[in-house]
Structure 1
Amino acid sequence: MASLPTPSADSRNRAAALREALASRVVVADGAMGTMLQAQDPTLEDFQNLEGCNEILNVTRPDIVRSVHEAYFEVGVDCVETNTFGSNHSAAGEYEIADRIFELSEAGARIAREVADEFVARDGRQRWVLGSIGPGTKLPSLGHIAYDVLRDGYQQNAEGLLAGGADALIVETTQDLLQTKSSLIGARRAMEALGVDVPLICSLAFETTGVM
């Protein structure tokens, strides 16, 4: 794994400003990522023959990923999420690239960070990068995957996001409480490893019946 940078004063200030904004006003984030990427018709070569693995585009076609972030900032959002929804052990493992979790996470965060900083330089209005931590494809509560394997994969995911410049981490659309626990603990372990403290957000997915 790549060495992890020391958090800068700028990153600490951005995290503090995000906390203040979340406590005092509506903070607007972006929308869909996958459909925006697919609309640009990436080739099988762009996916390194791993069709549908959007996270690969962070290293093969950063221009496509960048264009999605730019489109959302252009219409006025405060935050964009990184293209890392599948940069976790269970999802990446299905493509046999679980060893690339950190690489793809760091690349995704770095692209979003660069775009956010460019927009801040234009008008001085703060923009933030939310490091996306997706639910993956396996449920530990049903024995699909070992809890510690999942947790450690999420730590790699979060470490890459933070190394790439994410201002916060967002655990998204979880549907299994044990998986939720593993991702939150993995994220906290990552923050401890880097010596940073950023907002940690979690969203849960429920059916209309109330079932996760």
Structure 2
Amino acid sequence: MRTLIEAIDQRVLLTDGSLARQLRGAQLNVARDLNGVEDCLELLNLTRAQLVRESHRAYLRAGADVIRTNSLQASPLSLARWDLADQAFYLNYAAAELACEAVDSVPGRGRRRFVLGVVRDQGWDAAPAELEAAVAVQVEGLLAGGVDGVAIDMVPGTGRAPAFLRGARRAKQKLKALAPVFLQRGHQGVEFSEHALGLADGLIRSRHGGAEAKTGKRDWLKAALEEEVNLIGGGDSPAATAKLDRALRAISDDGWRPFTGWRRPAVVDEVTPPSSSLHLDPAMAEVA
């Protein structure tokens, strides 16, 4: 599986956990590191690059297959309230570059890990043309920074998805990029329209590996597979991600990741499963 779109179509992948929680847990100087803007952790992509990179590395060593960029509030529409809209491209480019550098620096032991650029609808009061233009800037930065794919994370049924996807496709066309653009939604609720799905390269059905995962039970994972989930969130910390990595490998056919329901082969070839526990952070040793 050399591409993200192949991997996410065939296996239930594990993402990193909460990056914001990791970053807020560090000693930050709001004036120096965040330019006095406490709520904009995306500025750390420029001011504390090593901190962001190491946070990604911790999740990779814990077993994550997919690392998500530090870009949730890096839209020009969000940054405008801090007079930072003109920094949108650079913040997204840096977010992608740092995540890619982290992936390149942590051995995968025979498995490829991926960087997923994240664009989230924050409910801005903006016309479709404004949404499209803002998404185009953000996605252009993520693609230029080297992401393997982009996730448009939004609630179905709002009618805003086409504008987001048009903006993303505009950026892809400008850069002649091949990375896929996914629509992302939770595992339950309203579906996206056929028109919106037709503008996307694929659909991510995600489920957060949070409170349910802390129980230690595997039933919720099996239920997630029945719901055709193809992306499991890594919880709130690298420790939670490591536990989810082990749980997913334990219920897979080949000791790696469960197959998606529509891609499970009749016969599973024996493979040597890549063990994320071979390269855990020292802090992960107790939960390995």
Distance 1:34 1:207 in 2: 25
Picking from 138, 158, 166, the partner of 1:157 is 138
Post-superposition Cα deviations, 1:118-147, rounded to whole Å, max 9, x if no partner, equal 124x63421110001121241xxxxx2222
Match of 2:93 in 1: 106
Shift in CA distance, 89/150, structure 1 to aligned 2, threshold 3 Å: farther
Question: RMSD across aligned C-alpha pairs, in angstroms?
Answer: 2.4
**Paired residue type of 1:80:** I
- The Cα shift of 1:197 comes to 2.1
Rg larger in 1 or in 2? 2
Distance 1:101 1:137 in 2: 18
Question: Residues 74 and 88 of structure 2 are in contact (CA less than 8 Å); yes or no, is this contact kept in structure 1?
Answer: yes
Give the gaps of 5 or more residues in structure 1.
1-13, 139-143
Say yes or no: does 1:20 pair with 2:1. Answer: no
Q: Structure 1 length as normaliser, TM-score?
A: 0.82
Greater percentage in helix: 1
3-state SS of paired residue (1:169): strand
Picking from 153, 157, 178, the partner of 1:172 is 153
Question: Residues 90 and 137 of structure 1 are in contact (CA less than 8 Å); yes or no, is this contact kept in structure 2?
Answer: no
Query: Kindly, what percent of the aligned residue pairs are identical?
Result: 31
Question: Residues 85 and 134 of structure 1 are in contact (CA less than 8 Å); yes or no, is this contact kept in structure 2?
Answer: yes
3-state SS of paired residue (1:20): helix
**Paired residue type of 1:160:** G
Q: Structure 2 length as normaliser, TM-score?
A: 0.61
3-state SS of paired residue (1:80): strand
Question: Residues 96 and 147 of structure 2 are in contact (CA less than 8 Å); yes or no, is this contact kept in structure 1?
Answer: yes
Picking from 60, 76, 79, the partner of 2:66 is 79
Match of 2:120 in 1: 134
Distance 2:22 2:155 in 1: 22
Distance 2:25 2:157 in 1: 31
Say yes or no: does 1:90 pair with 2:71. Answer: no
Picking from 41, 53, 59, the partner of 2:46 is 59
Distance 2:9 2:157 in 1: 28
- The Cα shift of 1:177 comes to 2.7
Say yes or no: does 1:30 pair with 2:11. Answer: no
User: How many pairs does the alignment contain?
Assistant: 191
**Paired residue type of 1:177:** T
**Paired residue type of 1:38:** R
